[in-house]
Amino acid sequence: MIITNEHVIHLAKELGFELVGFSKVELLKDEIEKLKLWLQKGFNAKMDYMNKNIDKRFDVKNILPNAKSVISLGMNYYFPDEYKKKENSGKVSRYAWGKDYHLVIWEKLELLESQLKNIDAQFESKSYVDTGPIMDKIWAVKSGLGWQGKHSNIISRKIGSWFFIANIITNVEFNYNTIENDFCGTCIKCIEACPTNAIVEPYVVDSNKCISYLTIENKENIENQFKGKFDNWIFGCDICQDVCPWNNKFSFQSQIDDFKPINKELILDEVLNMNEEIFKNKFETSPIKRAKLKGLKRNAEFILIKE
C-alpha cells in the first residue's frame, strides 16, 4: 500500500505529536550560506560539531540516498507551572523539567517508522530529534510547522514555541505543505528582554552570550561580564520565549506525562554538595545530565557568588 499524508498524520497524532508537516527534499543552498556566515562570525562558540557534516546538512541525500521528503513533527512540552523563586535555587529551562525528550521521542519515532514500514515494506527512513547532521529548524519551517522567530526558535500559530522538533527523512513522496508567513511583525520583545544581548540582530543569536549555551554546552568558566545577568538560571534560559506574545496566547498543557515537571528548580547548596553518584541517579533520564556535574556546580557558584 502507498503511504499517504493521512497515514502519517493519523499515526503521529496518536503518538502525541501535535504538529505534522511535509516538505520536498531540496538542496539547502541559501540556508548553508547563512550557516557559514554565522560560523565565520564565531557565533557557534565552542560548538565545533556545527562545523562538521556540512555536506549532509546541505543535502539530506548524503544521509539517505533515496530521500524524497522530510516529515517534520512537533511535540508540545509546555506545563504551566511557575517557579517558586526561592533565594537559594536555580531555574531550569522548561524543556528540561521532565524526562529527556530524546528518550521519549526516539521511542515514538521508532514506533512510527515501524508502523509506516508495515504499510509499505519499501519505506526507508532516517529520523532525528535535535541531534545529528540535519538542519532541523529549517526543515520544520519548510514543512510548514511555523516560522523562525527573531529569537531563532520555531513558532507555531497553533501552539507557540514550546515544542520539540523531530524530522524523518524518507524515500516516500507526499503532498507538501506551504511555508508559513513570519508573524513576528514589528515585535522585538525577545530582543529587548534578553539579559545578555545575545540576540545580536533579529533572527541571529550569538551563542557566546546566550545563557542556554553558557550553562549547558559551555565547558569553561563563565565570564564576569555576565555577573548579575543570569536571573538565577542554572540550566538553560527561557526568557526570550517567556516574553513572546505567541506563547502567551497559544500555549497549552502538554499531553505527554513524561514531560511533567520533576526538576523545575534546583537547590543551589544541594548542587554544590552533590557527588557523581547522586548526580547520576538524580539526572540519569533528565536532559540536565548534559551539563555534567562539573558544569552544574560551576553554574550554581556563578549565580550564588554575586561579585
Give the footprint of ligand SF4 on this chain (CB under 6 A).
149-151, 155, 184, 187-190, 194, 196, 198-199, 205, 210-212, 237, 239-240, 243-246
CB 212, min distance to ligand SF4, A: 4
Residue 204 and residue 225: Cα distance in Å, rounded?
21
N-terminal to C-terminal alpha carbon distance within the chain? 66
Name 89's bridge partners.
267
If the CB atoms of residues 172 and 237 are measured against ligand SF4, the closer one turns out to be 237
CB 185, min distance to ligand SF4, A: 7
Q: Are 149 and 244 in contact (CB under 8 A)?
A: yes
Q: Are 69 and 176 in contact (CB under 8 A)?
A: yes
Residue 131 and residue 150: Cα distance in Å, rounded?
22
| Burial class (CB within 10 angstroms; exposed 0-12, middle 13-18, buried 19+) of 260 | middle
Residue 287 and residue 103: Cα distance in Å, rounded?
10
Q: Known catalytic residue: 258? A: no
If the CB atoms of residues 54 and 204 are measured against ligand SF4, the closer one turns out to be 204
What angle do helix axes 5-14 and 101-119 make, rounded to 10 degrees? 140
CB 187, min distance to ligand SF4, A: 3
CB 191, min distance to ligand SF4, A: 7
CB 155, min distance to ligand SF4, A: 6
Q: Which residue is nearest to ligand SF4 (CB)?
A: 149
Long-range contact list for 65-69, CB < 8 A, 24+ apart?
66/124, 66/171, 67/25, 67/169, 67/170, 67/171, 68/24, 68/25, 68/170, 68/171, 68/172, 68/173, 69/22, 69/23, 69/24, 69/25, 69/169, 69/170, 69/172, 69/173, 69/174, 69/176
CB 204, min distance to ligand SF4, A: 10
If the CB atoms of residues 72 and 207 are measured against ligand SF4, the closer one turns out to be 207
Cell 529569537 identifies what position? 151
Q: Are 101 and 77 in contact (CB under 8 A)?
A: yes
The residue annotated as part of the active site, out of 59, 120, 130, 258, is 130
If the CB atoms of residues 60 and 239 are measured against ligand SF4, the closer one turns out to be 239
If the CB atoms of residues 115 and 153 are measured against ligand SF4, the closer one turns out to be 153
If the CB atoms of residues 7 and 290 are measured against ligand SF4, the closer one turns out to be 290
Catalytic machinery residues = 130
